[in-house]
Amino acid sequence: MLMRTDPFREIDRLAEQFFGTAARPAMMHLDAYRDGDHFYAAFDLPGVDPDSIDCTVERNVLTVRAERSRPAGDGVELVAAERPMGTFTRQLFLGDTLDTDKLEAGYENGVLTLRIPVAERAKPRRVSIQANGAARREINA
């Protein structure tokens, strides 16, 4: 069996993942965290027109699409083109513990921030323990 090896294949794969290609720009970077009763997702989208951002939730899949385009016109001459352009898409699978009906989104300083409350059923609650038919004490569940 003949096997060809490419010592730079992994480097090329990482470079395409980080920088993207002309046909498929690099993905948008994300920070996700929980603070109290809310889950946050912050996407880096510098230079993106807020009107080009589309955020949808279908079942438990959050999809964020954004487009960044180059200046166009008759007098525009492209001297350098290093920033990735095109349509960027990122999907997140959200757990059942989040209340996606109350999702809020804001775009400021090139960062799209989504705020999703934790569902009431997912919050810690106290459970009473019955001993001999009477409530005796409560524990956290």
Sheet holding 111-117, edge to edge: 30-35, 38-44, 111-117, 104-108
* Res 25: pLDDT: 57
pLDDT for 93-132, tens place per residue?
998 889 999 999 999 999 999 999 988 776 777 888 888 7
The Cα–Cα gap between 112 and 64 comes to 10
Res. 15: pLDDT tops 80: no
What is the rounded average pLDDT of the residues 30-55?
93
DSSP 52-91: G-EEEEETTEEEEEEEE----STT-------S--EEEEEE
Whole-Å CA distances, 58 to 51, 53, 100, 125: 21, 16, 9, 29
What is the rounded average pLDDT of the residues 51-59?
93
What is the rounded average pLDDT of the residues 75-93?
84
What is the rounded average pLDDT of the residues 44-63?
92
